[in-house]
Amino acid sequence: MAVVFRNLQKQPCGKNSQLGLGMAGWLVVILLIGLAASQVFKLAPSYIDNYTIRSELKKLALAPGGVESLSLQEIRSSINNSFLVNGIRGDIPQALDVKKSDGRTIININYEKRIKMFYNIDAVMTFNNQLDSKFPNKCCDPIGE
């Protein structure tokens, strides 16, 4: 008794059948991956800078004696030194705003970054960082005044 196995799936056969991407398809895939990677490489430094800014604000929130014990000049100096050491790019140091009132210190670093993507298309990123000495555990997220 002979057992015959039949192929249950019909597969195309012949010269005109294709089982995958052709050369043009692979070129499109590679082009899309390259475009996405180039955009990530353009945007990532801005997010890394903002992460550094948030880390500096958290460090100030945990300072011995609290932020209230530091003068406005000491706060500005500490943050600007951190920007210098960490190579923070752009106009971020000008976005630093420090206020003392009613026994609390509020530090705001709110800024926008505009990155040219290609041709006349720009990416605009807005970063809002706030440290309120009254709520140091909520560091870096805007609380409002």
Structure confidence at residue 15 as a pLDDT band (50, 70, 90): low
Which pLDDT does position 71 carry in this prediction? 82
Better pLDDT: 80 or 8: 80
List the one residue out of 86, 90, 32 whose CA is nearest residue 57. 86
Query: pTM for this structure?
Result: 0.74
144 falls within a domain: no
Report in angstroms the alpha-carbon separations of 39 from 32, 82, 113, 132: 11, 27, 14, 34
Q: Which residue range is the domain that position 48 belongs to? A: 25-138
83 falls within a domain: yes
Better pLDDT: 80 or 9: 80
HSE, CB side, 13 Å, CA atoms: give it for residue 28: 5
CB 57 within 8 A of CB 107: yes
| Residue corresponding to tokens 């990416």 | 123
144: helix, coil or strand? coil
Q: How many domains does the chain have?
A: 1
Which pLDDT does position 64 carry in this prediction? 79
